[in-house]
Amino acid sequence: MCFGSPESDVVEVNRGLLKELEDMGFSMARAAWALHHSGNSSLEEAVNWIVDHENDSQFDKMPVVEFNIEIESPNPRDVTAETAQARANELKERARELREEEETKREREREKERIRAGKEMMEAKRIAEENERKRNIIIALRKAEKDEEKQAREKIMQKVNADKAERKSRLGLQTEAGSTSTSTLVAPLDADRILMPSPSPASKAEEMRECLRSLRRNHKEEDQRTMRRVFETLLMIVRNAAKNPDEEKYKRIRVTNRLFQERVGRFREGMEFMELCGFKREEGSEFLSLAKHDADMSRLRDAAFQLQSAVTNPFFGLLSKEAAEE
């Protein structure tokens, strides 16, 4: 008795089913193997097996067939050749349809996999493009800040040169332009008239800029709108003091004022910037005041210029050398 190996020489089959398969046009060898491997269960199972193994040539060899009466059909069907052929075709067609359905399912799965891979590729491309765009924005902002710093330095140097010329003129010295156009003798200098030079305007402006940078860097966890409101409040205070030098109300700030505390007073750097602008705490008082002799219009204009830069540049202070090193 054989149990499924093609090399077996003896198989047990159902005589009635074997005859039906032969009537359908299948060879006796393949019909015998089909009944053997399908367990003589049914004609349909045998046909399905034949269709699935139609390209397996090893089953063309005729095995030794034993007809087991125990598995014979009690009432073998008496069918004509035409009926048998039609049933064979029907069973073949059904087997092919099942194979096609399986292939369709596999193709759908492959298509889903292709779509998933395509989406992953597109997402990776989008992320790469977004990172490139952000990198270009940062580069552009760094360049803009460098250009802004260069312009600020040039403006400061122009003011330094103008201050030098003004001091020379006050001391009775010839300026560079005047030395080539006149030969008038310069009177001896009166020691009592010599004035000590004030601190460099350039260094004061740089202190202001660095103070604002520190304010932005040290509180970068704050909401951007909050920091913008700090800069805008300082800008409003400085502009009012510069535009109205004779009005006392614009030169005195109550430190305990709720809005001032919320927007400026709670930040150490904000109070330091007020001091750099000339505001000083009145002794035994809750006011910051800008005394007349401390109200330097040039300094206030510098402060307004630095604050305007901080207000208009959302990355102010975040792309400086110190921030990059962090």
Phi then psi for residue 10, to 5 deg, are -125, 125
Positions of the chain with pLDDT lower than 70, given as ranges:
1-9, 67-81, 84, 174-202, 294, 317-326
What architecture (CATH level 2) is domain 10-99?
A: Orthogonal Bundle (1.10)
The amino acid sitting at 78 is D
Concatenating the DSSP letter of every residue in 60-74 gives GSPPEEEE-GGGS-S
C-alpha span between 33 and 56 (Å, rounded): 11
What's residue 178's pLDDT? 45
Residue 191's pLDDT is: 42
pLDDT value of position 78: 52
Matching fold, domains 10-99 and 201-326: no
Pairwise CA distance, residues 84 & 16, whole Å: 12
pLDDT of 81: 66
CATH of domain 201-326: 1.20.58.2190
185: left (phi over 0), alpha (psi -120 to 50) or beta: beta
Does this model's pTM top 0.85? no
User: What pLDDT is recorded for position 129?
Assistant: 92
Confidence (pLDDT) at 82: 73
Element (H, E) at 104: helix 81-170
Interval 53-102: pLDDT, tens:
888 877 777 777 776 655 544 444 555 667 767 777 777 787 788 778 88
- Give the pLDDT confidence of 170-186 residue by residue, as tens digits: 777 765 554 444 444 44
CB–CB of 259/253 below 8 Å? no
* Domain assignments of the chain as residue spans, ordered by start: 10-99, 201-326
Which element (helix H / strand E) includes 288?
A: strand 287-289
Predicted pLDDT at 18:
83
Q: What residues form DSSP beta bridges with 66?
A: 12
Distance CA(250)–CA(56), nearest Å, equals 102
Count of CB atoms situated within 10 Å of the CB of 267: 19
Identify whether the C-beta of residue 227 lies closer than 8 Å to the C-beta of residue 219: yes
